[in-house]
Every structure is written in C-alpha cells, then in structure tokens.
Amino acid sequence: MPAQWDLIVIGSGSAGIVASKTAARFGARVLMVERHRLGGDCLWTGCVPSKSLIATAHAAHVMRTSERFGITADNVTIDFARAMGHVEDAIATIEPHDSAEAFAEFGIEVIHGDAHFTGRHSLEIDGTRHTFVQAVIATGTEPRLPKFAGTDSIEMLTSDSIWELDELPPRLVVLGGGAIASELGQAMARLGSAVTIVNRRDRILPTEDERSSSILQATFDGDGITVLNGRSAAEVISTDGLAGELVLDDGSRVPFDRLLAAIGRSTRVGTLAPEAAGVNITAEGFIDVDASLRSSNPHIWSAGDAAGLPKFSHIAGVSGSIAGTNAALGLRRKFNDQLVPRVTFTSPEIAAVGITAADAVPGKHRVYTGEHLSTDRAIAEGEEEGFAQIVVDTRGRVLGGTIVGPRAGESLGELTLAVSAKLSTSALASATHAYPTFSDALWNAAIADVQYRLKSGVVKSAIQLLARVRRATLGKPKD
C-alpha cells in the first residue's frame, strides 16, 4: 500500500521549510521531499554565501580606504581561499537548522529523491508511490544561462557555481545588471578581480529609481568596475573552456578569465509532471495559482519562486506560511503582492517597499526625502551619498519609499511596518528615535510631512483657533 500523508511538500528551500513547519504545527502529518540538499538555494548558493562574501569584500574595502579616517593600512593582501572559507563556515553553522534531524523535531519526515505526480492525489518518489490529501509545490528556480554563439564551448559561472572557485579570477566579466550581478560583481571587484559588467539595459539596477542607480554607478566607478550599459553579448570565444573573449553587439571585445551569467532565473519543475495532477502551468513555466496560492487542482498549492512570486527568500517564507496554513486548515488566506520589501546588498545598500517616488502621482501622493548630507550619523561615518524617501497619500499615510545607504535593509523594517499597518507620518514622527542613527533620515522625512499638514487646510485652521483661544484665556500678563 502507498504511504499516505496529510501534506506532501516538494522542495526544502525557504517556501518548503515554512510550509512544512506551519502545517506540522497544526497537527498535519507532513512529508518533505528534496532531490538535492536540504535548505535550498538560500542556504547553499543564495542569501547565506553571498552575504558572507559581501561581508568579506566590505572588510577589504574598509582597509583599503581607511586613509580618509587618518589610518594607513599598507600592503592589504587578500587570501581568496580563506575568504571562501568564511563562506563555507557560515553555511556549516546554519546547515544544522535545516537538517532532517531538525525537521524531525517538528514531526516532519524527509525523503531524498525525485518526485513526480501520478494523479490528483498521488506521486512517486524514486519508484515508491505516496498519496496525499494536500500538497505544496515549492521547487524554486535556477539560474538561467544565455544562448549565443560559443556558449556551448565554455563553462560559465552562475550564482550556483561561483562558490566552487578556489582562486580569484584576475578578470571577471558579468552578464546582467540586476541585483545578483551587482552584488557579486562588486564583491569580486573589492576582493581584487578586474570586473566588467555587461548590461543590456540603459542603467544598472533598472527596476530601482534612477537616483538609486546613479549612486550605485558612482560607487562602482570608485571600485574600478567597468559597466557597459546598453550592450549585449553576441559571441564568446574560448580555447580552454574557461577564459576567452566576449564579443559584444557593437563588435567590441572584452577579455576575461571567467564569465559569470546573472541574467535571471528559470523554473525548476523538472520531471515533477504537475499536469498529471491536473495542475496548470503558466506561459512562463510557473505553477498557475490564485491569490490564495491554490492551483487548478484545489488540493495542490504552490509557494515561492515556483508560483511565480517575487524572487526573494522572505517572500518564499511568507508565501510558504500562507500555503501551509491554507492546506492544513482549509482556509483561503491571500498573499499580498502589493507589499514586497526588497534589498540589494551592494555598498551602499538599496532598499525599497511599496510605492516609490517613480510611482507617485501628483495631487494624489506627496514625496519627502531625508538626505544623508544632513544626517549626523552619515556625516560622522563619511557616508553622505544616500537618502531616505517616503511616499504618502493626502491624509499622510505612508505608502512606501526607498532607502539608500549603509544598512538600508535594517532601516527598511520601520518603513515596511508603517506601510503594512497603514501608519501615518504622525505616528513615525511622534516615536522617539535613537540618535544618532541612519534612521534619522527617514524620521526627518516623516516630520517634513507632518509640518506640511500643520501648515495647510483644516489642521492649520484648527491650530490657529486653538492659539487664539489660548491667548484669550490667558489674557494679558499682570505687573
């Protein structure tokens, strides 16, 4: 007889882990299926290794630029193997949290193998049949490789394979201009590689506002990174399968020792055969789900990248919670795709949530900016290039914004909470903020809106009335 489960979760990345734990907490008998390594991309090739490498690169950059603080650090050398060792140590420290033993403590059973659906309530894992009441597809995505002349003759790096390097490439060419290309490109440059970014769009980070892009571009210039915007690859020429020349669409050639592709991600459905379970697939290859993350088979749900949601680990986790709850309890909680905080972990960090200045509509929205040029902590640290910007409606409610600067991702938490809770700038302005911090810029932007509302409309009239009443009540001072 086939094994029977209340819930089978396919994939052990952020979405799969949270979906499994959520359902298990509600008493469901859960099976998690993983074809490769428990923990998914975030642990092994995404969040953890990239932020570990970025931390190492930042340390190197601080040493190189310490003269501005009156500190001379001669002969800064970088042991790339030890830098990658720090990455491995970080993974090894976190890995036990995502082990089969850790999941067993939640009552979750783990099976390693390839799964494929055989019916609306059944699947096989390496030849063994299992049945389920509900299922969650959380198979994630994988790096997309470009296709142009010569790509079949070269071993191209991706955000999955770059962690296998044991030597720093003297010359690294990066294809792409998004978050992954920017983060890895800057980190490798600060570790000593001569980096060229080939970006087919007209500016770096094209999904962020122009000012954020220009600040990052200026930093890249200072890091010695060559950014070729508006250019695309036409051909790659290599004799050893690793190094060679990249021929661009304008005929120019860029030599490299390794080539890194960071042009996006593709679905990872593989041999899962969701159509055998009556699950529809979108034209882009994602699981077709409704707002509650339920597929065309009402007993099968999807979360994270597999469902075509914004490709962030925190979104995978939140959507995994929703899918796991709906599957276990029969609810129809909806995923809010209007509130997606995002951070690009370059230096400076670029963070945004909700409506940004580019989306603001005159007469409907107001935009306020707190400049780091007038933020005391930024001045003290010599990091005046950034800013904090908020977008509010006519009632002063915070709808979103952008923060650029050191630890912008940390400051984004307050802004995200304000948007989520529909707080007004009055609520932000009236909260006491620790001084001096980079969050002062956000606080001052909120104060600017409060001051605007105090000087206009009904509020202004009310204040003037109170002032007149107060003067009349007190009368003239007596000798």
Pull the structure tokens for residue 182: 């920017």
pLDDT tens, 138-197?
Answer: 999 999 999 999 999 999 999 999 999 999 999 999 999 999 999 999 999 999 999 999
Q: How far apart are the first and last CA of the chain?
A: 101
The pLDDT value given to residue 460 = 74
The pLDDT value given to residue 88 = 97
Specify the DSSP element, H or E, that contains 117.
Answer: strand 115-119
Residue 477 confidence class, pLDDT cut points 50, 70, 90? low
pTM of the model: 0.94
CA distance 291 to 159: 30
Q: Which residues pair with residue 157 across a beta bridge?
A: 260
Pull the structure tokens for residue 464: 């003037």
Average pLDDT of the residues in 444-448:
97
The pLDDT value given to residue 473 = 83
> Who's near 230: CB < 8 A, 6+ residues apart?
199, 200, 201, 202
Q: What percent of the chain has pLDDT over 70?
A: 98
Q: Which residues pair with residue 196 across a beta bridge?
A: 173, 226
Residue 160: name the closest of 174, 144, 185, 143 by CA: 143
Strand ranges inside 319-425, DSSP E: 342-344, 349-354, 365-371, 387-393, 398-405
DSSP letters spanning 166-204: -S--SEEEEE--SHHHHHHHHHHHHTT-EEEEEESSSSS
CA distance 197 to 207: 17
Q: Cα 227–174–157 angle (5° rounding)? A: 175
Average pLDDT of the residues in 398-421:
97
Which structural domains are found in the chain, ordered by start?
3-143+266-329 (3.50.50.60), 151-264 (3.50.50.60), 348-457 (3.30.390.30)
> Who's near 176: CB < 8 A, 6+ residues apart?
197, 198, 199, 261, 262, 263, 264
Mean pLDDT of the chain: 95
Residue 194: name the closest of 254, 154, 153 by CA: 254
Per-residue pLDDT at 2 exceeds 70: no
pLDDT tens, 263-277?
Answer: 999 998 878 999 999
CA distance 470 to 479: 20
Burial 414-446 (b: 16+ CB within 10 A, else e): bbbebbeeebbbbbbbeeeeeeebbbbbbbbbb
**DSSP letter (8 states) at residue 46:** S
State the pairing for strand pair 244-248/365-371. Answer: unpaired
For residues 314 and 42, the answer to whether their CB atoms sit within 8 Å is: no
Q: Cα 64–66–68 angle (5° rounding)? A: 125
